[in-house]
Structure 1
Amino acid sequence: MAVTRIIAFAFVLAVCVGINAAPNGRILEGNDVATGELPWVVSVRVDNAHVAVGNIIEASHILTSGHGLSALRSIAIAASSVTVRAGSINQYAGGQIVKVQSITIHPSFGNFLHDIAIITLQQPLTFSSKIAAIALATDEVNDALVEETEVSLAGWGLQLSGATPYKLQVATFKVLSSHECEYQAGYGYDSVLCLEHGVNRGIATGDEGAGVVVNNTLVGVASFYFGGGGTKFPDVSSRVSYYSSWIASTIAAQSEA
């Protein structure tokens, strides 16, 4: 197993260089999301450009991936450069733009492990039919995520054509067991939830942070993909239940600040 992880680690480093160098990924090739269908999904923006998907977990808190907001490992970029568009399936228009108070990346983030972050907003969102929080997975929900469990994931990532969709896209994936994920990609960690998909499907540039959802419950946060996306390898996400204590303590600390 150690040899497998060393090989996989070297491969992922090469992959990540490609991801950061240019937007060359493949997108879900999913379906358009209807207005209000996924009210917890937001566009996370840096200098007013979409960089990641976020998930509303409280009126003032968004759960997303860490690497798109990282200046150096767990040190975040300036919160003043980040905003969130909530309440719109159009990444370019509609809804409300909210400024960010702070960004907390998991302290152990590195090499795409523990790739999770909490955004605290300057002002709480006003919930409506288009803006709402999603429930977080409990241990019981996590235990039910056996291999072949169907999950959904939505984002604004690149499509096969190389175009960026203006409308939120959603598709269905299947959970891959930790054992099988270790075998295929060297990522059978307890903190990871791997997703299986067909060739030319899967997450891509712009989908990082997207919620992995079962029965309107957030079970994962999309982290990275292999190659340009859409390969035979699984997509990797952070398992939400693994971070439940960290999420709760981080929100409590922000509330007291």
Structure 2
Amino acid sequence: MVAVAGVLLLLALVSVADFQEAVDTECCADAATDAAADAAADDAQNTDENELELDVELEAACPELSGQIIGGRPSSIQRHPYQVSMVLNGNSFCGGFIISPDYVVTAAHCVQNTSPAAIRLRVGSTRRDSGGRIVRVASVIVHPQYGRPQFDNDIAVLRLARPLTFNANIRAIKLPQPRQPVPLVRLTVTGWGLTAVGGRRIPRIMMEANVPVVPHWLCRLSYGQSLTSNMFCGGHFLIGGVSSCQGDSGGPAVFRDTAFGVVSFARGCALPLSPTVFTNIASLRNWIRDNTGI
């Protein structure tokens, strides 16, 4: 009883923190509109042209989508060849992951109301600002029930303008079977978000962190009815300290070469009693199959 009372007290203390709502992307949508014409003229872009500005100020990108991997470590594309960096209007703003030569999965809040012509994906590089290849997006397919209820069905698939050629640094990751349970293990999350709470600059090098899956019933103590069956949580529930947040949104949560989750949202970053919430891919696996054939 003492332990339960302590948990409830801590929940009351952190309840004043607002959700970092992953659904509000108006700044990015406006930027996408402005960038669409420029992007169309930029068809011949390659890794030697128009490299991203180093250490982009978060205010120059979209604050709503600027999150972090907290308590992680440097990684590489050789370890995670499915990881991609999404670029909008010259700035890294979300992650995604390759599921076939033609398709990339990301979070719906990253691309909702965004023109495909405004998006570029950097594949095959440990760095978010150079190397690898820049590829174009032909179409954006957002889950039709995204945000109903709020935060739910936070998933989208991007069809690429041209198929990828796989190599050691560019490769698809497997997906779980429909309704396959999320294992209660440590999942690996990757991305290029901030590495410290309150930081202002995003790293050049891919980071990764291992986050333990939180049982659904326990995560309900933190997020209540906002946590649906299409979601699961990951992080150190009581102490925080290791986390991804929505700036790494769209990136995968992986166990044994299978992507079980998509980074979606959280209350704060690496806070106690506020684990990261992931879209449960297995719950939406049939939707992915229907829209990609995979």
Task: Report the structure number with the largest CA radius of gyration.
Answer: 2
Indicate which of 204, 220, 223 corresponds to 1:166.
Answer: 204
Q: CA deviation at 1:132?
A: 0.3
Pairwise CA distance, 1:144 = 5.4
Structure 1 contact 26–205 (Cα < 8 Å) conserved: yes
**Residue in 2 aligned with 1:145?**
183
1:28 matched residue in structure 2:
70
Is the alpha carbon distance of 1:12 and 1:68 closer, same or farther for their aligned partners in structure 2, counting shifts above 3 Å?
farther
Identity %: 26
Q: CA RMSD in A?
A: 2.5
Q: Give the distance between the partners of 1:60 and 1:25, measured in 2 at CA.
A: 27
Alignment of 1:33-44 (within 5 A): 33-44=75-86
1:239 and 1:48 map into 2 onto residues whose CA distance is 30
Q: In structure 2, which of residues 271, 277, 286 is the aligned counterpart of residue 231 of structure 1?
A: 271
Where 2:220 maps in the other structure, the secondary structure is helix
Residue ranges of structure 1 left out of the alignment (5+ in a row): 1-6, 72-76
Does 2:124 match 1:87? Answer: yes
What stretches of structure 1 move > 2 A for 4+ residues in a row? 10-15, 17-29, 197-201
Could you say which residue in structure 2 is the equivalent of 1:58?
A: 100
Question: Compared with structure 1, are the counterparts of its residues 26 and 136 closer, same or farther at alpha carbon in structure 2 (3 Å cutoff)?
Answer: closer
Return the alpha-carbon distance in structure 2 between the equivalents of residues 79 and 89 of structure 1. Answer: 24
What TM-score comes out, normalization by structure 1 length? 0.84
The residue identity in structure 2 corresponding to 1:189 is T
Compared CA separation, residues 13 and 108, structure 1 to 2 (3 A)? farther
Residues 26 and 99 (structure 1 numbering): CA distance in 2 closer, same or farther, change over 3 Å? closer
Structure 2: give runs of 5+ residues left out of the alignment.
1-11, 26-61
For 1:234 and 1:189, the matched residues in 2 are separated by 15
Give me the whole-angstrom Cα distance separating, in 2, the residues matched to 1:14 and 1:246.
27
- Cα distance in 2 between the residues matched to 1:26 and 1:162: 10
Aligned to 1:117: 156
What is the Cα deviation at residue 46 of structure 1?
1.3
Give the structure with the higher percent strand.
1
The alpha carbon displacement at 1:22 in A equals 2.9
- CA displacement at 1:12 relative to structure 2: 8.6
Give the equivalent residue in structure 2 for 1:47: 89
